[in-house]
Chains A and B, each alone.
Chain A
């Protein structure tokens, strides 16, 4: 911070204006939180906190609302997409940092980052018109043939594969979050000191052993932060899943069932909510989503900062 003894009046004004601009970030967050709590007031009063979070009702006709089916859908699709995205993303990071020739590193890095630049509505549309038919005619019947008869796992593959379901939505979501984990993992891998890696090579370690026993342990904080960040992104993703998830307020166990996430419910029902308590419940859902993703993103930031501090030492 710079301190000048004689304050120039224009300088005072400029510092106040820029200061006010930077404080808008705090104002936005506080205002969003306040407004969401305020708007969901009637629903909070009527359904309480625990009852709302644990009820599977979502019935505009009887005006009985609960968030559990939405939370379930959000958590399930997020979990499945992470499961699919993490190995691929780390594989990409390993490829870019350790395997690919130097000339390829830039282009591949840009290509993977372009995946993050494609708007989510394009993912959703592609999912609806292209991926979903492929899923319902080829992949899902195939999975069903293999797994439907298997005890326990079979539960996940019941029902008619329609392509508009949890599995398709999770795949699209996983493609969308790959770039976040991949680019942060790549950056963390790159921070591993060359000396440490070279020592391992000198002991006769193979490339994979260096990655597994030196690079990944060294950068695990950063990689973990990247994973949590993609978790936060996946929680709040709307358009990519709105097309292919249906909007089904039931707790289902099969990956071939339609479901609803908080975001999909908001996107489909917000503009049509006709009663005050309905709208208020939707605001309540938005509040739940905001709190969930804020905490997740704050945790991600915490890990990434911790990683940064560790590497800069």
Chain B
């Protein structure tokens, strides 16, 4: 319908054209706005981060506020340990769980239910998982510890890996399994030697993306692994992580801290973007 005030000035066709043109311009602007935010945020992190980046950041431990120099070696190493432990716990559970859903339980109601619950778990607030781990692994022990952080991240990883594994295994043609069955192979051999090989790239990509997902998590570490201003490799004690350090330093009052927070933000962003882009490119190249 033509709005009343336009009735005199435009024909119906002119109005439809103008309306269509406006809508297309607006949605182009929306896409540009999305790109603008991406460039704005990444550019900001790059500019501030590169300025603050230096070797001492990686090889030195923090110094007291006000003293120049110092670095975040403890946070880099801590983040690495927590992420590796989380991966070692979360990935096997996720891959095996996904295998069950796509193979032994294929098409059953149970498999469907678990898939749906896993999808929900992927988006459950990570801070809630932090409070849960605090209740079972920090409060009874009496102090913050690195394992609590790693397990919190692992819980976030499991549903992600599980769902991608399930999807990737489902893509392997059923006839391939039948061919292996016909040779007399038991199901576990079919899975490990035929199905896994067919889906290996996809599963690995899923693992990459899940590492990218947890490497930037802060909320579940705040009250599990907490923070530690000293270099520590002991997972039974509080251990520093980049993300919690960024939170603490950025909220702190010292300029020196802010610079180091930017540098840490730069490193973690680059790491995650490389993982994510690699993962996406592999998926595009392999599955489309």
Point out residues on A near B: beta carbons under 8 Å.
Answer: 1-2, 4, 8, 10-11, 14-15, 17-19, 21-26, 28-29, 31-32, 35-36, 38-39, 87-92, 94-96, 98-100, 106, 108, 110-115, 117-126, 128-130, 175, 178, 182, 206-209, 211-212, 229, 232-233, 235-239, 242-243, 263, 266-267, 270-271, 282-283, 286, 289-290, 293-294, 297-298, 301, 305
Docked Cα-Cα span, A270 to B265, in Å, equals 24
Q: Which residues of B contact A120 (CB under 8 A)?
A: 216, 218-219
Contact in complex: B120, A118 (CB < 8 Å): no
Contact in complex: A118, B41 (CB < 8 Å): yes
- Given the contacts A99-B28, A294-B120, A28 and B114 also touching, CB distance less than 8 Å: no
Contact in complex: B99, A119 (CB < 8 Å): no
For residue B284, which residue of chain A has the nearest CB? A106
Docked Cα-Cα span, A24 to B151, in Å, equals 13
Q: Which residues of A contact B212 (CB under 8 A)?
A: 117
Contact in complex: A123, B276 (CB < 8 Å): no
Interface 1/0 per residue, B111-138 and A, CB below 8 Å: 1011011111101111111111011100
Interface 9-mer from B3-11, B32-40, B59-67: B32-40
- Interface of A, helix, strand, loop or mixed by DSSP: helix
Task: Return the contact of B216 from the options A38, A122, A271 (Cβ within 8 A).
Answer: A122
Task: Return the contact of B124 from the options A38, A118, A236, A243 (Cβ within 8 A).
Answer: A236
16 contacts between A and B (CB under 8 A): A17-B96, A25-B162, A29-B121, A88-B34, A89-B30, A111-B34, A121-B216, A122-B45, A125-B246, A125-B261, A130-B44, A178-B34, A209-B20, A270-B223, A289-B125, A293-B125
Contact in complex: B269, A236 (CB < 8 Å): no
Q: Which residues of B contact A297 (CB under 8 A)?
A: 119-120, 123-124
Count how many pairs of residues, one from A and one from B, have CB atoms less than 8 Å apart in the complex.
282
For residue B178, which residue of chain A has the nearest CB? A2
Interface check B253, CB cutoff 8 A: no
- Given the contacts A106-B284, A130-B44, A25 and B159 also touching, CB distance less than 8 Å: yes
Contact in complex: B125, A238 (CB < 8 Å): yes
Task: Return the contact of B158 from the options A25, A125, A293 (Cβ within 8 A).
Answer: A25
For residue A286, which residue of chain B has the nearest CB? B131
Task: Return the contact of A236 from the options B26, B106, B125 (Cβ within 8 A).
Answer: B125
Contact in complex: B38, A1 (CB < 8 Å): no
Task: Return the contact of A88 from the options B33, B113, B127 (Cβ within 8 A).
Answer: B33
Docked Cα-Cα span, A19 to B129, in Å, equals 23
- Given the contacts A25-B97, A99-B27, A266-B127, A123 and B41 also touching, CB distance less than 8 Å: yes
